[in-house]
Amino acid sequence: RARGGGGVDNRLGRVPAEDPEVAGEHLGGGRAGIMLRGRFGEAGPAQRILERRGIPFSGSDSESCRLSMNKHATKELMRDNGIPVSPWLLCDDPAKAVEMVAAAGLHYPFFAKPHHCGSSVDASRVDNHEPLPAPAADSIAATHVAVLEERLAGRERTARALAGKPP
């Protein structure tokens, strides 16, 4: 169970997140199963600590996790590898978002999303040229940068793969 204060609480006692050697001892030298949600568990920091200590773990490596939680980096990687993506831009000032969208030639509706959160966390749809809705503006202010991307019409699909192979 994840808990504040930089550690994990479990039946074995408190395992400080900053001391992965202790975590390795609690795991009995086996493979670590990362079950943390959020930036520490999904964006690469936990994986990076385990990699540095040589502790094997389940899931993706730290760089893959970092890229997958960063919407801007993911879109660039996809685009650079020939995978079509919706037009987007980065915005660090909610007061300038509508102006930036117009200057970039993006079409409405578009979505404002924190660039570093998973899936649709704090995403807001923007339908017209009015100032950004409060949730979108708050998201940009809280995360300091957001991805503004055109909405693509169609169905959304999710595909799983492990080691580059479908299950």
Q: What is the pTM of this model?
A: 0.63
| Phi and psi torsions of 17, nearest 5° | -65, -30
Dihedral angle computed from the Cα positions of residues 15, 17, 21 and 25, in that order, rounded to the nearest 10 degrees: 30
Q: What is the pLDDT of residue 162?
A: 60
Instruction: For residues 24 and 46, give the distance between their C-alpha atoms in angstroms, rounded to a whole number.
Output: 13
Please tell me which of 20-29, 109-118, 152-161 the model is most confident about, judged by mean pLDDT.
109-118
Amino acid at 119: S
Q: What is the pLDDT of residue 12?
A: 36
Instruction: For residues 110 and 42, give the distance between their C-alpha atoms in angstroms, rounded to a whole number.
Output: 26
Instruction: For residues 22 and 159, give the distance between their C-alpha atoms in angstroms, rounded to a whole number.
Output: 36
